[in-house]
Structure 1
């Protein structure tokens, strides 16, 4: 299904689209649009009861007679030959009803059944088992085989619980079995759910072997700090910013800041590069670089260049490396730049500066722990 939406009275109303046939002289393959407010569009606006009426009238159909013409507008036309269709009208109605529930953040028929299952497994009361039987049979019939999400057992344990002792399995794909449900089968079903519950707890509590022992610290926000009169003696983690005056040597050239070095390296013009390096302030270096020609493929190489500059900065300034290490494993969001590539601005931005700082921090942690990082050949 594809997600769709419509706007009504200034409100965005979420929806989904399902393929369907409209019978208007020929059969048209189109989308049935279902919305959270219960509105359904089938070339006319209806609700769930209205969709049932359109199915009964033959305007909306789930299958096409042999030899009938089918069209898909600009895509083309063809005839139904040896066609097989999977949904009946009742199946479609049940699916649409579940769509509306999910669009509203409510449990669908399967979700409601599983909620009653949890209650019955806790109480073992017959009234709850009867309620479980009712909710299971309320699941669309073609869906009564995988409510448990178990590829191996399918819904057999659930069917055993909802079926009375001495009765043949009801509903789902198992109702054609000759065996009747017995007490041992009921015991097997209870054991299945006990094992399933234990496996679920173990899965939910299992963590990858390389996960941190404690949760990550709160996010650190960097960037945007400006000190017209010069940087104060103690600015905390702001020393991690690219604009902080920590000279970086690249080759035999020393740049006042990472920002100076980045923009100087972005151009192949030697005169422009020197002018950028000599700029008094980081923002002046960036402004000076704006009119200079970029190095070929700079946009593809810039992330690697920045990573190298950050490694150089913290290798050449051990005190700053200690500040970076002191951030632990906290996520770093870099703001204050007019670039959605490097920074974060509200909900936008790829935050590559923050990511690279986290990468260099991880490399520093590896070095302090004696971990050898494989080098590029």
Structure 2
């Protein structure tokens, strides 16, 4: 992959993942910039283009892979210089191949390296010259800049792979004047047999601390404003606006939203008015322009955590609704707050994260500390 760094762009409200690498754009002079590659096959080289258009950008020299001696170059707001004895490892063909691999990887499809290793597995299962030829072709389809780490083995690089696809009597790039010996080939075969054992063990190994990703599909809690409880509310019961009274310091609030906004204001009289508001809209609107209580920004996460614990502890039927989400990622919709809500992938989703925390506490209560 061009990079393990992940970014994204928004397209019609959909988050499209991508990554980037450095590249030179030639617009009169040469400009060091970032080339962004996205999962939908678009590439940003100072403008979004398709893969075919990107190839034309390379042919025209707009995306530069040749850097002439003495040419002027710059990096925006960073530096300006002239090339002296420039060396580059890229050609238009190699860069296009890298970009194609990146698009495959962003879509979790086998890239050229994955296809090569699959061809090698096919050869090892049926060791015919036809299968070896297919593996050799697949190896040389990997971009030249990437033909050193297909095996993921930094010590041996791709030496065993090159020996295997060359076969006894064949030659490899590193030593074009030396034929592969039978001993070298037998060693390569044993390497791949051992590698198959390592791979099988790695696949069967369970992380000591459990899986790193959720098993259940994500749950999106869209905004809803029910006026009364329901016998079967489903995930709507997880919303802060859902009518489920909570008690804080002897005061009962009709919803978590009422309690949150009431506790946020500094004026005790206004706090009472917020608590008594006839709707969650009214509670928020009363508190919106009021002076916040001291240290509210530092306390608000702790307050929300306490309110959610109070809600689901007091209402077992709502706790069951939360537990029914299993280990799903909870995405909380909130059009007013990118802090508490997901905001189409750009928010911090603190409400969703705290719901997951409370869910884990309900599933397995924390034991009391020993005295």
Alignment TM class, shorter chain as reference: 0.7 to 0.9
The one-character-per-residue Cα deviations of 1:135-182 (angstroms, maximum 9, x if unpaired) are 434545554322322212211111111234245x411xx31786x423
After superposition, residues 251-290 of structure 1 pair within 5 angstroms as 251-290=249-288
Q: CA RMSD in A?
A: 4.3
Helix, strand or coil: the match of 2:364? helix
Rate the CA distance shift 1:322–1:145 in 2: closer, same or farther, 3 A. closer
Residue matched to 1:155: 158
| Alignment check: 8 A CA contact 1:259 1:285 kept | yes
Deviates more, 1:289-298 or 1:332-341: 332-341
Helix, strand or coil: the match of 1:356? helix
Rate the CA distance shift 1:28–1:249 in 2: closer, same or farther, 3 A. closer
Residue matched to 2:41: none
Cα shift at 1:126:
0.7
Rate the CA distance shift 1:177–1:252 in 2: closer, same or farther, 3 A. farther
Which of 57, 60, 66 matches 1:62? 66
C-alpha separation between the residues in 1 aligned to 2:217 and 2:349?
16
| Alignment check: 8 A CA contact 1:218 1:330 kept | yes
- Where does structure 1 lack aligned partners over 5 or more consecutive residues? none
C-alpha separation between the residues in 1 aligned to 2:8 and 2:358?
42
| Alignment check: 8 A CA contact 2:216 2:328 kept | yes
1:298 equivalent to 2:296? Answer: yes
| Alignment check: 8 A CA contact 2:24 2:65 kept | yes
Rate the CA distance shift 1:73–1:329 in 2: closer, same or farther, 3 A. closer
After superposition, residues 71-86 of structure 1 pair within 5 angstroms as 71-72=73-74, 77-80=80-83, 83=85, 85-86=87-88
Cα shift at 1:47:
6.1
Residue matched to 2:172: 170
Which of 368, 371, 375 matches 2:367? 371
The one-character-per-residue Cα deviations of 1:202-230 (angstroms, maximum 9, x if unpaired) are 32343323327x974454554644444x4
Rate the CA distance shift 1:290–1:92 in 2: closer, same or farther, 3 A. same
Helix, strand or coil: the match of 1:72? strand
Q: TM-score, normalised by structure 1?
A: 0.71
Cα shift at 1:125:
0.8
Cα shift at 1:265:
0.8
Helix, strand or coil: the match of 2:257? helix
C-alpha separation between the residues in 2 aligned to 1:23 and 1:254?
66
**What count of residue pairs does the alignment treat as equivalent?**
343
Cα shift at 1:267:
0.6
Residue matched to 1:309: 307
- Where does structure 2 lack aligned partners over 5 or more consecutive residues? 36-44
Cα shift at 1:100:
5.0
Residue matched to 1:19: 23
Bigger Rg, structure 1 or 2: 1
| Alignment check: 8 A CA contact 2:341 2:348 kept | yes
Residue matched to 1:127: 130
The one-character-per-residue Cα deviations of 1:39-80 (angstroms, maximum 9, x if unpaired) are 348xxxx466x45xx69xxx9663544xx3633287554455
Helix, strand or coil: the match of 1:19? strand
Cα shift at 1:20:
4.2
Helix, strand or coil: the match of 1:39? helix
Deviates more, 1:303-312 or 1:253-262: 253-262
Residue matched to 2:52: 38
C-alpha separation between the residues in 1 aligned to 2:254 and 2:163?
75
Q: TM-score, normalised by structure 2?
A: 0.72
After superposition, residues 113-262 of structure 1 pair within 5 angstroms as 113-167=116-170, 169-171=171-173, 174-175=174-175, 180-211=179-210, 216-222=215-221, 224-228=223-227, 230-232=228-230, 235=233, 238-262=236-260
Cα shift at 1:317:
4.5
C-alpha separation between the residues in 1 aligned to 2:229 and 2:215?
30
Rate the CA distance shift 1:226–1:30 in 2: closer, same or farther, 3 A. closer
C-alpha separation between the residues in 2 aligned to 1:186 and 1:203?
26
| Structure of greater relative contact order (alpha carbons < 8 Å, 6+ residues apart) | 2
Helix, strand or coil: the match of 1:114? helix
Cα shift at 1:345:
6.1
Cα shift at 1:191:
2.2
